[in-house]
Each structure stands twice: as structure tokens, then as C-alpha cells.
């Protein structure tokens, strides 16, 4: 990073270019997180592992995010954002390069874990940086713009990555994602203000003592179950669509695009509903999620109905995100940075556990077509947790907090 480049950390009017660098990095990170879903059958065949064992590549990534986010957030909190974000993106590139050259299952799993360490700390720090780049009244829009990269990853990056893997091999997908990481790193080095001061340490304020709050623990459990439960099915979506529903590998890419469109709409509607009915909307969304998952299991013989369910499933799943984020911030409003980091960990711990549960279910002989019922059961468990948390909540969360709901 050039030391003679003049940069100011003060918010300026207009559209700050560093937000584009953050959005590009978010796109790359989001793509590598979910692209494995479309590559799973090919990876299992190429590396001669079972489908449940290949599914643990999702579990490994999610556990890396959950366990790596707090310590990396604490370490990077003392660095200037331009340095911290560049370092995290370098780690991301290294992990994806390991995946691209992996000759066996263990090497691929190691690469996934290395890449995952970037995820939580980058989004936690990135949201803070995005908010400081603009005047206070535009912070919500700035954070939303950064997270738009994550949304676009699911709409464009994941289907494109699956298509690349289909035609050039799954390793080519990781080479492509590594290239995205290099572009994002270059953008961060060129565009990020060098003079921006280090943020406050993640443990500032009440620190880790917030974990003594039962309602916060309940809110984190709600995040893990309410969103993470979809991964009991999502991890195995490609083989489910091919084996149980009869879709071709090429058609699966189109279905992933439909899923991405659904989650984009769901995230918007979830934020809108959460602003107006913060308590009631979460009950409705989780109930809808369970219903759609049951319906998906029942209509696997009808391709048009499957596509419709996949769209609704993506919408219902990602509609939970704004309310889940807001609830955690309500319960730890005096430590928002640490709370956000913990919530990222909860999202991914739920992903890991649900993917593991799905793998165990397949190992004992559960048919692929019944995995959506397993996800529906986890959504109902989330409803039970939500019912236990009913009653008084903290102050209404800010719109900026809701805008940062996409992990």
C-alpha cells in the first residue's frame, strides 16, 4: 500500500469507491462459501469419497468461520482497516489456491478451512468500515451496498461456479474464485483509505461477559437453528435434484439461479417485515420455511413444482436473516461489534451442525428425498426457541443493523 497516497477517513459526499472494493470482496467470499453445493457430486466422484463425506466440506468451512471469527476479529481490530482487510483477503486467496491444487480429500478440506477463516472477521470489519465511509444518515445504504456482493454471489457467482465446474472440472472453479480474490485484493489496496484508524477492539465495552446473558444465548441458538437448519438439505441440493428429482447437471445450475433469486427477494422482504412487525414476522417466516421444506419433499416427482418450491425456500430462508441479526443486537446493544461477530459464528455453527446431521442421516440410510423434512424439523425447533424468547425485547434495532443482516 503506497505510503504517499493521500487518503482521508472522513466521510465524503457522493459514492465512496472503497465500497466497491468491499462489495467485490464480499462477492468472492460468498461465492466460495456456497459454490461447493453445486460441485459436491463431482468432488465426491473425483476424490472417491462418499456423498456424506463430501458434504463435510460444507461443515468444515462453516466451523472455520464459527471458530475463527472471534480471534481474527480481535487480532485485526488493532490494525488499520486497509491492512487488516488486505491481510484477510490474502488468507482467502491462499485457501482457495489450496483447494484448486488439492490432490486428495484432506487437502481440499484444509483449503476450505483456511479460506473460511477470512469470512467472519472480514464481514464484521467490513460493515464497520462501510459505515464510516459515509455520513451517518447514509450508513444503512453503505452497509447494504457492501452486503450486496454476498447476495450477488448467490445469484450469479454460485451458478457460474457450478457451470465452470461442470465444463472444466471443479478445480477450475476454485482457480476462478482465487482470481476474484486477487481482483478484490487489488481493489482494496488501491481504493481503501490508508489513513483510516483502527476500529475499537472487539472486546470493548462489556466484552465476553455478554455471553452470561441467557436471552442472548437464546438469540444465538435461534440464529443457528433458524437459518442453519436449511443446510441439512442445501448441502446435498445438487444430488437431491439429480437423483431424487431427475434434473440434469446443467439444469441444476438453473435451479441454483432460481434459489439465488429467491434469497435476494427474501432478504429484502425479511428486512421490510422485520422493521414493521419485529416479533410477529419471525414466527410467520419460520413457519413458512418449515411448510416449504415439507412441500419440497412431497413434490420431488414434479419438476415445475420443485423449481417453485426452491424459489420459495430461498426466499423464506433468507427472510429470517434480518430479524435474527436484529434480535442478537437487541440483546447486546452495548457490544454491537462482538455481538455481530458472535452472530456470524452462530450462523455458521448452525450451517456446520445441520450439514453434519444431514451427512449422518444419509449414512444411516435416510433417502435424499427426506432431507427437506429434516430441515423442516430444525425450523420447528427454531420456532420453539422463539416461543421461549417471547416477551420484552430491547429497543428497536436500527436500520443500519438490519442492513447488515446478510452475515
* One pLDDT digit (tens) per residue for the chain, 407 residues: 444 443 444 445 555 788 889 989 999 998 998 898 889 889 999 999 998 889 889 889 988 888 887 788 778 777 888 888 999 999 999 999 999 999 999 999 999 999 999 888 888 788 778 777 777 666 656 666 777 787 788 788 888 998 999 899 999 999 999 999 999 999 999 988 877 766 554 445 566 788 888 989 998 999 899 888 899 999 899 899 998 888 988 888 889 889 988 888 887 788 778 777 877 888 999 999 999 999 999 999 999 999 999 999 999 998 887 788 778 877 887 776 677 778 888 888 888 899 899 999 999 999 999 999 999 999 999 999 999 887 654 444 444 444 444 44
Query: Domain containing 158 — which CATH number?
Result: 1.20.1250.20
Quick one: cell of 136? Answer: 451517518
Distance CA 320, CA 262 (A): 13
Q: Does some domain include residue 89? A: yes
* Predicted local distance difference test score (pLDDT) of residue 74: 76
Closest to 256 (Cα-Cα) out of 124, 183, 159, 164 = 159
Closest to 156 (Cα-Cα) out of 281, 30, 55 = 30
Distance CA 65, CA 241 (A): 27
* Predicted local distance difference test score (pLDDT) of residue 185: 96
Q: Does some domain include residue 71? A: yes
Q: Does some domain include residue 214? A: yes
**CB within 8 Å of 302: residues ≥ 6 apart:** none
* Predicted local distance difference test score (pLDDT) of residue 184: 95
* Predicted local distance difference test score (pLDDT) of residue 198: 61
**CB within 8 Å of 368: residues ≥ 6 apart:** 236, 239, 240, 243, 244, 362
Distance CA 325, CA 407 (A): 8
User: Domains in the chain: how many in total?
Assistant: 1
Q: Does some domain include residue 12? A: no
Q: Does some domain include residue 13? A: no
* Domain residue limits at 306: 18-403
Pseudo-torsion of CA 13, 17, 20, 25, nearest 10°? -120
Q: Does some domain include residue 66? A: yes
* Predicted local distance difference test score (pLDDT) of residue 15: 59
* Predicted local distance difference test score (pLDDT) of residue 206: 65
Is residue 230 packed enough to be buried (19+ CB in 10 Å), middle (13-18) or exposed (0-12)? buried
* Predicted local distance difference test score (pLDDT) of residue 337: 67
Distance CA 313, CA 370 (A): 15
* Predicted local distance difference test score (pLDDT) of residue 70: 79
The secondary structure of residue 240, as a DSSP letter, is I
Distance CA 324, CA 19 (A): 25
For residue 258, give the 3-state DSSP assignment: helix
Q: Does some domain include residue 269? A: yes
Q: Does some domain include residue 9? A: no
The secondary structure of residue 242, as a DSSP letter, is I
> Whole-model pTM?
0.74
Query: Residue 78, Cβ neighbours under 10 Å: how many?
Result: 12
* Predicted local distance difference test score (pLDDT) of residue 72: 85
Amino acid at each position: 500500500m503506497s505510503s504517499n497516497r493521500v487518503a482521508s477517513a472522513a466521510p465524503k459526499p457522493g459514492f465512496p469507491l472503497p465500497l466497491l472494493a468491499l462489495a467485490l470482496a464480499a462477492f468472492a467470499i460468498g461465492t466460495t462459501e456456497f459454490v461447493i453445493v453445486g460441485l459436491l457430486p463431482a468432488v465426491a466422484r473425483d476424490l472417491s469419497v462418499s456423498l456424506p463425506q463430501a458434504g463435510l466440506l460444507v461443515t468444515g468451512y462453516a466451523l472455520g468461520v464459527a471458530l475463527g471469527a472471534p480471534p481474527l476479529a480481535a487480532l485485526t481490530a488493532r490494525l488499520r482497516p486497509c491492512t487488516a482487510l488486505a491481510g484477510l483477503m490474502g488468507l482467502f486467496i491462499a485457501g482457495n489456491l489450496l483447494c484448486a491444487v488439492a490432490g486428495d480429500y484432506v487437502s481440499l478440506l484444509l483449503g476450505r478451512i483456511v479460506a473460511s477463516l477470512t469470512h467472519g472477521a472480514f464481514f464484521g470489519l467490513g460493515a464497520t468500515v462501510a459505515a464510516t465511509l459515509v455520513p451517518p444518515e447514509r450508513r444503512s445504504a453503505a452497509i447494504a451496498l457492501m452486503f450486496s456482493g454476498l447476495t450477488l454471489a448467490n445469484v450469479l457467482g454460485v451458478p457460474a461456479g457450478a457451470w465452470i465446474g461442470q465444463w472444466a472440472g471443479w478445480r477450475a472453479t476454485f482457480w476462478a474464485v482465487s482470481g476474484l480474490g486477487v481482483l478484490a485484493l487489488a481493489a482494496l489496496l488501491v481504493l481503501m483509505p490508508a489513513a483510516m484508524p483502527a476500529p475499537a477492539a472487539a472486546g470493548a465495552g462489556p466484552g465476553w461477559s455478554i455471553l452470561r446473558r441467557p436471552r442472548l444465548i437464546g438469540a444465538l441458538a435461534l440464529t443457528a437453528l433458524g437459518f442453519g437448519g436449511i443446510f441439512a438439505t442445501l448441502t446435498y441440493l445438487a444430488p437431491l435434484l439429480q437423483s431424487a428429482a431427475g434434473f440434469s447437471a446443467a439444469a441444476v445450475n438453473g435451479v441454483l439461479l432460481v434459489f439465488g433469486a429467491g434469497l435476494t427477494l427474501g432478504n429484502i422482504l425479511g428486512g421490510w417485515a422485520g422493521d414493521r412487525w419485529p416479533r410477529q414476522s419471525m414466527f410467520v417466516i419460520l413457519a413458512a420455511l418449515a411448510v416449504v421444506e415439507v412441500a419440497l419433499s412431497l413434490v420431488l416427482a414434479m419438476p415445475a413444482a420443485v423449481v417453485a418450491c426452491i424459489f420459495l425456500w430461498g426466499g423464506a430462508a433468507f427472510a429470517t436473516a434480518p430479524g435474527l441479526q436484529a434480535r442478537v443486537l437487541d440483546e447486546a446493544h452495548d457490544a454491537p461489534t462482538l455481538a455481530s461477530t458472535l452472530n456470524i459464528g452462530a450462523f455458521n455453527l448452525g450451517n456446520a451442525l445441520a450439514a453434519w446431521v444431514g451427512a449422518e442421516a444419509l449414512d444411516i440410510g435416510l433417502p435424499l428425498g427426506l432431507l427437506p423434512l429434516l430441515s423442516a424439523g430444525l425450523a420447528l425447533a427454531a420456532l420453539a426457541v422463539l416461543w421461549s424468547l417471547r416477551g420484552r425485547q430491547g429497543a428497536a434495532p436500527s436500520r443500519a443493523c438490519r442492513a447488515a443482516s446478510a452475515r
